[in-house]
Chain A
């Protein structure tokens, strides 16, 4: 069953204080019968450290549910020696949304992430001239963990 789970956490996009996210987690679950997607991010302290979560589940031709009542959790983490972030090893995603006719729909996706496909040093990818304009992102060393 072909599955690829794309998880990014934690990451601050290029302009930390101006982009309202300090941490993101994404999941894209695709299988022959279901597609389940979720995006959760936490705003930086200057925006109240608010957790925003949107997601939904679909099958061929139909959205089973969508909404913002979901939760993304890293149930097991391991400190990354390179950058001090807690790298996720196991995750649990809970969808808790409504269907088109208002009925509650829940789903859980959990498990070990397995071998990581990539780890991205975000600031290394930022074009030079943007880094110059921003003048440095104080106290942040953003990374993306992709599995």
Chain B
């Protein structure tokens, strides 16, 4: 029996009629699921079933949509990578499928058509964002670059929220000479529900794409209300809550702008690249063998040796406080200094960031920092651990010479380093 077909099921006590539903991964093998005419799904124990009869094959297909965009509106493009935001739920099966045609998106978010025409939807792949790697970032950058250079005023990248900030950081480095807005957008609630936060995110993202801000930004809810979104610089943002719609917060700086659904945009941080006519260059070189390592009390520094032995070229440490690791413990085995010295001697770049996320690293305030500095660690100012990891992979894609790598890591290329930190930025 195929799921989607209307069937009749007979048990010893009763008869049921409904549409056969597919079985979810969370469920056991002992039951089948039927959707009753009331709409309710029920599970029936297979071993109680005496007889089944197929009444009709696949009852009904979803109606195709015929809405089109207005060609007089400014054009943006959409690069879809998967994730909740551009998935439609098949109400019959509960299965989730990506949008493929711009018209499908407009049908579900008609407000978009008031402001823009979506001239193309590209879909280089469809993945849960936790399954992505540098291979995917390069593919996304390629599509974005191509669209920006072929008439799109700006590009929206739709993405799963889990690692959205990693991709936003990667794009910030892979899109050189960026002259137009790129909005990376996700949704924390599913498209099937009335409270779908992606609708506002996409509308505000469309406005962002028409703005003067030539940066890769993450555009998501600014608060738990549906009042506005904030555009946060891609290199300075983190997912700070597992489920809230306003999970994405800027770290160490204010958002670039607040954006309202009617297009009203309030610039909060004027330090950004401005729109221009220059061609965007794709630079997707990336050294895959980079790692991000947390240090914590009792952690074993031999993890660095493992990476070095396996040919890793760069390691970002997410240290405590000012970027510290253990340097003067009572039990010598907990000191990271030997492993760090060994790595640096082997030509592996070691950079320090802080696992507090907020605030800046500093090698001079405490002895731990000075000892680390002497061992060859490069302190990376206030760069986020995730951003530093991405940047390091990108830099190492260009050069392996430690002095060059250090120079490039400390050069502020896409706003990843804050020259000054606004006190209002903390827990914004």
Partners in one complex: no
Interfacial residues, chain A to chain B (CB-CB below 8 A): none
Interfacial residues, chain B to chain A (CB-CB below 8 A): none
